[in-house]
Amino acid sequence: MVLKKDFLWGGAIAANQAEGAYKEDGKGLSLVDILPAGEERREALFNPEVALSKEYSHYPSHEAIDFYHTYQEDIKHFAEMGFKVFRTSISWPRIFPKGDEAEPNEKGLEFYDQLFDECRKYGIEPLVTLNHFDTPLYLIEEYGGWRNRKLVGFYERYAKVVLDRYKDKVKYWLTFNEINMLLHIPFFGGGLIIKDDENANQVKYQAAHHQLVASSLATKAAKEINGENFMIGCMLAAAEIYPYTCHPDDMLKSVKENQKQYFFIDVQSRGEYPSYTNRLFRELNVKIEMEPSDEALLKAYPVDFISFSYYSSRLTSADPEVNKKSTSGNAFKSLKNPYLQASDWGWQIDPIGLRVTMNQLYDRYQKPLFIVENGLGAVDELTADGTVEDDYRIEYMREHLKQMIEAVDDGVDLIGYTSWGCIDLVSAGTGEMKKRYGFIYVDRDNEGNGTSERYKKKSFYWYKEVIETNGECL
Ligand code: P53
């Protein structure tokens, strides 16, 4: 058996894409609560000042899949599949509705007490993200989001409250979801609204510094509250960026592009700004403002493990003419790889890329890895007898899991695997329900119509067997 006996198999969701109940029990608005679905969502993500002043007909996060009320039934399904771990996030504005209050909202805290108790009832370990694209909206309108150093203090207060409250219920924590998203969709990642006359890189990297400091402060608080009983991780939208050709210029470009994504983890894992940032920041005309204690803090509180999402590899060319053909099937631009197929949403499917990425991450950091997102967003048809024949999803996952096991056999230390959207939920990138990832079908459509009934897909039974055999059946 290649995987450890206590390998953590499971699934992942995020509060804002599942819970709904967007105003219930005192919850404040977060940045996602003003985002619509479909084409309008893209526009809103990249022109957030428009979204802030516009009224849309449908906001998918407001009801999402109503997980706030259905979590007991849903977790029961996860338990039936044999989940050992369940990744979700805490909605920051449930705990601090505006974000800058002195005292937390008790009702919000109670919800997560119940949720984590429900997981524990089945022996499922919660894996909890502190900030998954849902910074309180008030902190954006009033303070300018993560460009403002004050966010560090608000986040620290929030982190301390939840780390302390759930110290006996949650062991694994992630400080920021896909921390590199800040560079690609700055509003999503950092609540940033960047003006045309600003140096966008300056704003983004300064906000990144604030998040990196905040992440270390959360780790510090965690160690003070619960010592080694906590495991604190960073989280990267990871995807090895391949050179378009074997031309040395392309190879160099790929090294440089990879440094831009690994930058975040270099700081979070090694505890210092990597030396290549001297040149990078010089060329981008970026000057990071730091407080005197920042460097010592980053050094003293690195993460315990490296978590990441993986959906696709990427491709870059040093030739600007060639690179112009890059498209963004998701937040990340890439050239088309002629050896790969793509999903219905244009995400290129590359199981071996997962093995490559795992090897790179482990070589670079020598810390345990945790795959906390991976999966296929696809259109599913509910059959007359209430199931979905999702062989395409099984195929995608089987190939990725096989490569994951190969990577472990290569010597990579891997804690666990949580597939993305283990129950259908709202897409982050497009706001659609139609883009489904789950083992469990949720009867709701893009407009929010439907019964919300849950149905087990074919992949539900397949994944159950994968877990039962610890991957041996693959
Ligand atoms: P969706 C792209 C765009 C937005 C969020 O994405 C993304 C990515 C891919 O890295 O990141 C994660 O729902 C994210 C999840 C999200 C998942 O990818 O657009 O952490 O919240 O749902 C899949 O298909």
- Residues 105-145 have pLDDT tens digits of 999 999 999 999 999 999 999 999 999 999 999 999 999 99
Distance 449 CA to ligand 1 centre (A): 23
Distance 429 CA to ligand 1 centre (A): 6
In this structure, of 6-15, 43-52, 147-156, 181-190, the range with the lowest mean pLDDT score is 43-52
Long-range contacts at 468-472 (CB < 8 A, ≥ 24 apart): 468/82, 470/1, 470/3, 470/5, 470/7, 470/9, 471/2, 471/3, 471/7, 471/401, 471/405, 472/1
Alpha-carbon distances, residue 184 vs 13, 268, 399, 440, 461 (angstroms): 21, 19, 28, 30, 36
Q: What ipTM goes with this model?
A: 0.97
Tokens at residue 288, please?
A: 């990071």
3 located within any domain? no
Identify the pLDDT of residue 327: 83
Please determine, for residue 12, whether its predicted confidence score (pLDDT) is greater than 70. yes
330 lines ligand 1 (CB under 6 A): yes
Long-range contacts at 242-248 (CB < 8 A, ≥ 24 apart): 242/313, 242/314, 242/315, 242/316, 242/337, 243/315, 243/316, 243/317, 244/315, 244/316, 244/317, 244/318, 244/319, 244/322, 244/335, 245/317, 247/318
Residues 6+ apart with CB under 8 A from 229: 167, 171
Distance 455 CA to ligand 1 centre (A): 23
Please determine, for residue 329, whether its predicted confidence score (pLDDT) is greater than 70. no
Please determine, for residue 339, whether its predicted confidence score (pLDDT) is greater than 90. yes
113 located within any domain? yes
Distance 427 CA to ligand 1 centre (A): 7
Distance 330 CA to ligand 1 centre (A): 8
Please determine, for residue 36, whether its predicted confidence score (pLDDT) is greater than 80. yes
Please determine, for residue 332, whether its predicted confidence score (pLDDT) is greater than 90. no
424 lines ligand 1 (CB under 6 A): no
261 lines ligand 1 (CB under 6 A): no
pLDDT tens, residue by residue, 169-197: 999 999 999 999 999 999 999 999 999 99
Identify the pLDDT of residue 330: 67
420 lines ligand 1 (CB under 6 A): yes
Residue nearest to atom 22 of ligand 1 (CA): 428
Distance 384 CA to ligand 1 centre (A): 30
214 lines ligand 1 (CB under 6 A): no
pLDDT tens, residue by residue, 66-95: 999 999 999 999 999 999 999 999 999 999
327 located within any domain? yes
State how many domains the chain has. 1
178 lines ligand 1 (CB under 6 A): yes
Identify the pLDDT of residue 49: 93
2 located within any domain? no
pLDDT, average across residues 320-345:
89
pLDDT tens, residue by residue, 203-241: 999 999 999 999 999 999 999 999 999 999 999 999 999
Of the pLDDT bands very low, low, confident and very high (cuts 50, 70, 90), residue 47 is: very high
398 located within any domain? yes
- Domain membership of residue 171 as a residue range: 8-468
- Output b/e per residue, 218-231; b: 16+ Cβ within 10 A: bbbbbbeebeeebb
192 located within any domain? yes
Strand segments, DSSP code E, in 5-162 are: 8-12, 85-89, 125-129
Identify the pLDDT of residue 348: 94
Alpha-carbon distances, residue 113 vs 105, 108, 287 (angstroms): 13, 9, 42
Report the SS3 class of residue 253.
helix
473 located within any domain? no
Cβ atoms of 35 and 140 within 8 Å: the answer is no
Reported pTM: 0.98
pLDDT, average across residues 157-167:
98
Residue nearest to atom 10 of ligand 1 (CA): 237
435 lines ligand 1 (CB under 6 A): yes
1 located within any domain? no
Distance 64 CA to ligand 1 centre (A): 15
pLDDT, average across residues 438-453:
97
66 φ, ψ (degrees, to nearest 5)? 60, 30
377 lines ligand 1 (CB under 6 A): yes
87 lines ligand 1 (CB under 6 A): no
Position in ligand 1 atom list of the atom nearest CA 430: 19
Smallest CA-to-CA distance from 460 within 9, 77, 21, 178 is with 77
Give the CATH number, domain containing residue 98: 3.20.20.80
Residue nearest to atom 16 of ligand 1 (CA): 428
Alpha-carbon distances, residue 418 vs 69, 89, 100, 293, 348 (angstroms): 22, 13, 32, 36, 20
For a pocket test of ligand 1, which of 89, 309, 343 has the largest count of ligand atoms closer than 8 A to its C-beta?
309
Residues classed as catalytic:
373
Position in ligand 1 atom list of the atom nearest CA 345: 24
